[in-house]
Structures are given as C-alpha cells and as structure tokens.
Amino acid sequence: MKRLLVANRGEIAVRILRAARELELETVAVYSEADADLPHVRLADRAVCVGPANPLESYLNQERLLAAAATQGADALHPGYGFLSENPAFARRCEQAGLTFVGPTSGTIELMGNKIASRKTVTAHGVPVVPGYQGSCEDLDALTEAATAIGFPVILKAAAGGGGKGMQIVRKPSELQAALESARRIAFQAFGDSSVFLERYLVQPRHIEFQILGDHHGNLVHLFERECSIQRRHQKIVEETPSTALDPERRAAMGEIAVTAARSVGYRNAGTVEFIVARDGSYYFLEMNTRIQVEHPITELVTGLDLVQWQLRIAAGEPLGFTQEQLRQRGHAIECRIYAEDPGQGFLPSPGTLSLLVEPSGPGIRNDCGFVTGNHISPHYDSLLSKLITYGEDREQARRRMLRALQDYTILGVKTTLPFLRDVLDHPAFREGTTFTDFIPAHFGQWHDPTDETGRRIALLAAALETCLSSHGSNPSTATHQHDPWTSLGAWQP
Ligand code: MV4
C-alpha cells in the first residue's frame, strides 16, 4: 500500500489524511466543485475534482471515484463514514479493480447491511438479540400471533434500515396492520426493500456500542464501549466512554459478546457492535456498523490507540500488535458534535459562510474539524462542522473541560449546536450520568438559546426608532417635567 485515495470530505477526510501522512503514505483527496477551498483538499499530496456539489454526482459517484483512483495511481481507498462507506457494490468494485478498500469485505458489508440476516447469523453463535420475529411479516395473522407471544409494545424495523429510519412502535394488536403497511412503504421508499421484522419494544433503553478491531491473521479484539444514548431524532450529539451504566463484569461480558458477533462473520478491520441495554441491565445485539464511526475519537483517547492508523495498517496486512489482555481503558472521554444547525428551531440546518472560527485548545482538548474561517457551509452535505472531544482523569474532569472548551469555541456566520451543548453538559441528569435514549425529548423538549440577544436588540431598536419619530416639546407634560425620567425616557423605559 503506497497511495491512498480518501473518498470523503470535511472532518473525517482531514482525520484520515493525517493518519495516512503519519504512516508515510502518499495521499489523494477528492472534492466537489463546492468544496475546492476546504482544508482536506490542501492536506493531501494531490487532489481531484470529482463533480458538482450534488453528492450524487461527486462523493457518491462510483465511476468518478474509481476513475480518480486509477488516473492518480492510488492502490487503496478509504471511504470514511456515510457516502459509499457501507455500500457493498462499491466495495466489490474496489476489490475487483485491485484497489484495497479500507474496511471489511464486500460480503461482510452486505451481510451486516441486512438486519434480518445479521440477527440470524449472530444468534446462531449465541449472541443475544431482542426477543422478536423475523419470519414472513406479510402475513398479518402470523405477525399478530408473533407479537402477542412477544408481548406488546413491539417495534417494527426495516431489514435494510438501521439508524432508526422507518421504525414503527406498535402498542396494541389493532394498530399492527396500519403500522405494518406504513413501515413497509417507508422501507421501500428509503431502501428499495420493504422487508421488515418485529422486536419487543424496550422502554427507556440505553444505546451502548463496542469498538472492534480485527486483522487478516485471525486476531480480533474489542476496544471497550461508547455510550451513545444522547440522540435527537436518531442522530447522536454527545458520546462518552466509559459508560456510567456498566460495571467491569458487564463490560467484559458485553465485550466478549461483541467479539463473538464479529467473529461469526469473520470480521476484518474496524467495526462497531451496537447493543440496546434495558433498564434491568439486560443487553441485546442491535446491529453492526461496518465503518469507522463519527464517535471513534473517544475510544482513541481512553485506549491510546490511533484507530484510523490501525485501519490502514490492517488493510496493508499488518497483524494487530497487542492482545485483549493488554488493552486498558484509562480516564474518561466525551465528544460533542458541533453542527451548523439552529437548535432553537428544531435543529434546522444553517448553511452560510464561516465568518470566524476560533478553536478551543489546552490540556485534554481535541477538536476534529473540517473547516476554517471563510469556508462556505453548503446545504448539500451533512451539517457536521467539527467534533469537540475532551479527556479527563475522571468523568467530572472531562465534563468540566468540555464546558470550558464549549465556552471558548467561537463560530460566527452560521448557527451552531454550541449553546445547546453547553446546557446539555450542565444538566443535572447529565452530571449524574442518567443518560437514556429519551434524554433530549425528556429534558430539552423545547429549548431556547439563553444567550440569544435578538429579542433585546429588537426592543432597543424599537425604542430608538420611537424616540427619533416622536416630536420633542410638543407634549406639554414633557415640557413641565422634562427632568422626570418617567417622562423623558419615553420608549426607553424598562
Ligand atoms: C429499539 C428501541 C426499543 N426497543 N429497539 C433507535 C435507533 C436504532 N438503531 C434503534 N433504535 C431503537 N431501537 C427495541 N427493540 C428504541 C430505539 C430508539 C427509538 C425508537 C423510536 C423512537 C425514538 C427512539 C430513540 C432512541 C432509540
């Protein structure tokens, strides 16, 4: 492996290019016409424009990416996350072109992409899954019987889904038919595959995932967990490790199960096994993600390993240089996702020009950022600007460092999640570590920016305008009491 093409943009492209350069690989960046000024283009040895801003014509354009790899003489391709990272057809085309795809095989991506198939595979190897039914869901009678045996409430999920799309919670038998039709229609529209399956619906669960690394020599380890329960509409916004919900015994047991799940498909490279953890502490396999994840840095901080470098070293055939017993979790790490979105308006994307970006720094602070002052945040792409990650000897130190870093972070020109995250990190429930998947709707149902000065500014402008427009001296009361602030202040009165 000599020359790596990074088929992505933004912070993850920067992250991968840094790892590749430290390993002395030559690097090729790709970019769309909208992204020519982004940092990832400058960080690479070479850069190729792969098409217009529309991702379907650039970062998702398989022909253009494969052509760029061929003309630039790349022998490996890192897909990052999103875009083509979990597309088995693209991975297969890379394999067939003799281009090392930095990730698992196309067969593994395909198998794990189908939630019914992955459930069956891991179950056969003793991995616990949520009690459910993956038989033919077209037959309403059979489905009703299965749901009744499982016990209501139940949840319908798309086989080709993951990440929450098309899920339907069903509370009683009479709701099943409508929910089934809706779930199948949404699944077909989103994934072109209407197959769905059924699980018991767990109330107020936690979402905990385990990082996996497997090499080409049969070595497979887990790098402990990440607690990802703080989500809004199935998008994580704060992640941390270790989880406040696991004791050493449960952590070790879940880690072993995660390795078993990965081994059951002969997993290679970095991957993530997702679990749902019930309130009684029981845990169940949900799905496996076959890519590097957004939240990988917190694992790097507590293990001391560079996960992206290991992805590249594994892809080059190098064996893992350590065993499970040599791995330790040390300290605590928290990640906050900084999006160009308006948290006061339902997280509406806030594209625009970054008129100023000043990153926080100092002990235990890392900011994985894909943009600099002057860059345009395009509405064509995911609105993630950067990931702010803090490390501490313990959770409270990591939390306080995060609050300090969030205060020191300046982003002007677009609305961001920064003020919202300050309130999340300061919330008593977060301080206590009682983080469940309903954290945001439960504590931040309708949130308004406490530092938003817009209302005050409008009042001041209105007062100034009123003062200018009002004719002085014509009112006899002002003439007689001109030193009385209750009359002379006019519209400036509080
Ligand atoms: C569940 C669940 C409860 N029971 N599965 C959401 C993301 C996806 N990876 C799995 N998700 C869930 N799966 C069972 N068996 C609860 C969630 C869930 C959720 C479900 C509906 C609406 C909002 C949710 C928020 C977080 C987690």
Q: Is the CB of 234 under 6 A from ligand 1?
A: yes
Q: Check whether 81 has a pLDDT greater than 60.
A: yes
Q: Check whether 474 has a pLDDT greater than 60.
A: no
| The domain boundary residue, chosen from 170, 200, 230 | 200
Distance, CA of 177 to CA of 182 (rounded, Å): 9
Name beta bridge partners: 392: 332
Q: What does the pLDDT read at residue 412?
A: 97
Compute the average pLDDT of residues 207-223: 98
280 and 400: one domain? yes
Distance, CA of 240 to CA of 299 (rounded, Å): 9
Structure token digits, residue 54:
């529309």
Q: Check whether 471 has a pLDDT greater than 80.
A: no
Local confidence band at 486 (pLDDT 50, 70, 90 cut-offs): confident
Distance, CA of 338 to CA of 422 (rounded, Å): 11
Q: Tell me, what CATH number does 146's domain have?
A: 3.30.1490.20
Question: How far does the centroid of ligand 1 lie from the alpha carbon of residue 188, in Å?
Answer: 20
Q: Check whether 464 has a pLDDT greater than 90.
A: no
CA atoms within 13 A on the CB side of 367: 22
Local confidence band at 137 (pLDDT 50, 70, 90 cut-offs): low
Q: Tell me, what CATH number does 309's domain have?
A: 3.30.470.20
291 and 331: one domain? yes
Closest CA to 412 of 351, 373, 454, 355: 355
Local confidence band at 491 (pLDDT 50, 70, 90 cut-offs): confident
| The domain boundary residue, chosen from 171, 200, 229 | 200
In a domain, 493, yes or no: no
User: Which region among 176-190, 252-266, 268-282, 387-401 has the lowest average model confidence (pLDDT)?
Assistant: 176-190
Judge contact between 279 and 205, C-beta under 8 A: yes
In a domain, 118, yes or no: no
Structure token digits, residue 330:
């040390």
In a domain, 177, yes or no: yes
- Over pLDDT 90: what percentage of the chain? 85
CA atoms within 13 A on the CB side of 208: 26
Question: How far does the centroid of ligand 1 lie from the alpha carbon of residue 204, in Å?
Answer: 9
Residue 302 has what DSSP assignment? H
232 and 140: one domain? no
190 and 310: one domain? no
Q: Check whether 306 has a pLDDT greater than 50.
A: yes
Structure token digits, residue 476:
């006899």
Name beta bridge partners: 325: none
Structure token digits, residue 381:
């792409």
Q: Quick count: other Cβ atoms within 10 Å of Cβ 324?
A: 15
275 and 410: one domain? yes
Q: Is the CB of 154 under 6 A from ligand 1?
A: no
Full residue range of the structural domain in which residue 149 is found: 131-200
Compute the average pLDDT of residues 105-131: 97
Question: How far does the centroid of ligand 1 lie from the alpha carbon of residue 429, in Å?
Answer: 20
Compute the average pLDDT of residues 214-227: 98
In a domain, 120, yes or no: no
Cis peptide preceding 39, ω within 30 of 0: no
339 and 412: one domain? yes
In a domain, 107, yes or no: no
Question: How far does the centroid of ligand 1 lie from the alpha carbon of residue 164, in Å?
Answer: 6
- Best of 134, 157, 167 for a ligand 1 pocket test (most atoms within 8 Å of beta carbon): 167
- 311 alpha carbon, distance to own chain's centre: 19
Tens-place pLDDT, residues 155-199? 999 999 877 778 999 999 999 999 999 999 999 999 999 999 999
In a domain, 124, yes or no: no
In a domain, 116, yes or no: no
Closest CA to 327 of 225, 436, 240: 225
Task: Label residue 284 exposed, middle or buried (CB < 10 Å: 0-12, 13-18, 19+).
Answer: buried
Q: What is the mean pLDDT of the chain?
A: 94
348 and 440: one domain? yes
Q: Quick count: other Cβ atoms within 10 Å of Cβ 457?
A: 10
Judge contact between 221 and 324, C-beta under 8 A: yes
Q: Check whether 476 has a pLDDT greater than 80.
A: no
> Which ligand 1 atom is at minimum distance from the Cα of 130?
15
271 and 363: one domain? yes
Q: What does the pLDDT read at residue 473?
A: 47
Tens-place pLDDT, residues 328-357? 999 999 999 999 999 999 999 999 999 999
Distance, CA of 182 to CA of 179 (rounded, Å): 5
* This prediction's pTM: 0.92
In a domain, 179, yes or no: yes
| The domain boundary residue, chosen from 102, 123, 154 | 102
Q: Quick count: other Cβ atoms within 10 Å of Cβ 14?
A: 24
Q: How many domains does the chain have?
A: 4
Judge contact between 130 and 165, C-beta under 8 A: no
172 and 307: one domain? no
User: What are the catalytic residues?
Assistant: 291
Question: How far does the centroid of ligand 1 lie from the alpha carbon of residue 270, in Å?
Answer: 24
Q: Check whether 481 has a pLDDT greater than 90.
A: no
Query: 133 by DSSP, 3-state: which?
Result: strand
Give helix 418-426 / helix 395-408 axis angle, nearest 10°: 150
- Best of 169, 437, 439 for a ligand 1 pocket test (most atoms within 8 Å of beta carbon): 437
Compute the average pLDDT of residues 211-223: 98
Q: Check whether 493 has a pLDDT greater than 80.
A: no
Closest CA to 318 of 23, 5, 109, 8: 23
Distance, CA of 166 to CA of 184 (rounded, Å): 8
304 and 414: one domain? yes
179 and 238: one domain? no
Judge contact between 193 and 161, C-beta under 8 A: no
Compute the average pLDDT of residues 42-59: 98
C-alpha torsion sign, points 323, 325, 330, 334? positive
269 and 323: one domain? yes
Distance, CA of 86 to CA of 204 (rounded, Å): 29
Local confidence band at 70 (pLDDT 50, 70, 90 cut-offs): very high
Q: Tell me, what CATH number does 59's domain have?
A: 3.40.50.20
Q: Is the CB of 417 under 6 A from ligand 1?
A: no
> Which ligand 1 atom is at minimum distance from the Cα of 437?
26
Q: Is the CB of 198 under 6 A from ligand 1?
A: no
